[in-house]
């Protein structure tokens, strides 16, 4: 993948193991309105989609959807940031890549991503962060990737996207950008890696 000038990351499932944090967050919402906790089969959806989409999904068929959306927007997410676990080797990877590549985040998180990166000391590594709040069309639509490419002034062939879900793969393919699948061998990808350090020879090679 020689010639790449930007590496773009998903947040949840790539920078962080945030599955439990997401479960805790949405369980809090459900409990607030007296509803049952998240079922196992619902977890993949909330892991991949925006907060607005996830609330619509979890509260479908209840009279509380609008109230839950309003409550979600004003509640403090900070307690759940502490439940997020940084992926092993992340800081080492970002330090190395930042000397040679532009770095970015494209995520379906909304207004929480800035606090997440700042709390874990990662903000200085990224030149641009695009959340679902910054685009009209969240993932799997490629708008966020096109926005990042415009920021760097490069084409899709000079960047790559690192993600862990089917919507990440779909977004990269729709953009025409090489895709690196992290810890998910089932995805359509140009490369599959199980650890973050395996990304280095792919982008530097």
pLDDT band of residue 1 (cuts 50, 70, 90) is very low
Check: CB of residue 64 under 8 Å from CB of residue 30. Answer: no
Of 190, 187, 171, whose CA–CA distance to 179 is shortest? 190
Query: What are 144-195's pLDDT values in tens digits?
Result: 999 999 999 999 999 999 999 999 999 999 999 999 999 999 999 999 999 9
Residue 151 tokens read as 């920021």
Give yes or no for residue 3 having a pLDDT over 80. Answer: no
How many angstroms separate the CA atoms of 72 and 13, rounded? Answer: 22
Residues 6+ away with beta carbon under 8 Å from 104: 6, 7, 8, 9, 126, 127, 128, 129, 130, 148, 151, 152
Query: What are 18-49's pLDDT values in tens digits?
Result: 999 999 999 999 999 999 999 999 999 998 89
Give yes or no for residue 50 having a pLDDT over 50. Answer: yes
Give yes or no for residue 2 having a pLDDT over 80. Answer: no
Residue of 62 and 76 predicted with greater confidence:
62
Single pTM value for the model: 0.90
């Amino acid at each position: 993948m020689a010639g790449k000038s930007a590496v773009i990351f998903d947040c949840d499932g790539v920078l962080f193991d945030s599955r439990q944090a997401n479960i805790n967050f949405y369980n809090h919402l459900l409990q607030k309105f007296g509803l049952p906790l998240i079922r196992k089969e619902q977890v993949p959806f909330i892991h991949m989609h925006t907060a607005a989409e996830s609330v619509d999904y979890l509260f479908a068929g209840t009279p509380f959807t609008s109230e839950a959306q309003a409550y979600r927007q004003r509640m403090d997410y900070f307690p759940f940031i502490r439940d997020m676990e940084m992926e092993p080797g992340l800081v080492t990877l970002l330090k190395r890549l930042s000397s040679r590549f532009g770095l970015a985040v494209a995520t379906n998180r909304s207004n929480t991503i800035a606090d997440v990166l700042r709390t874990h000391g990662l903000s200085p590594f990224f030149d641009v962060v695009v959340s679902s709040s910054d685009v009209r069309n969240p993932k799997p639509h490629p708008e966020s990737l096109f926005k990042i490419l415009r920021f760097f002034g490069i084409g899709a062939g000079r960047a790559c996207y690192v993600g862990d879900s089917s919507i990440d793969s779909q977004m990269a393919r729709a953009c025409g950008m090489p895709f690196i699948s992290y810890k998910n061998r089932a995805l359509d990808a140009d490369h599959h890696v199980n650890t973050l350090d395996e990304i280095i020879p792919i982008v530097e090679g």
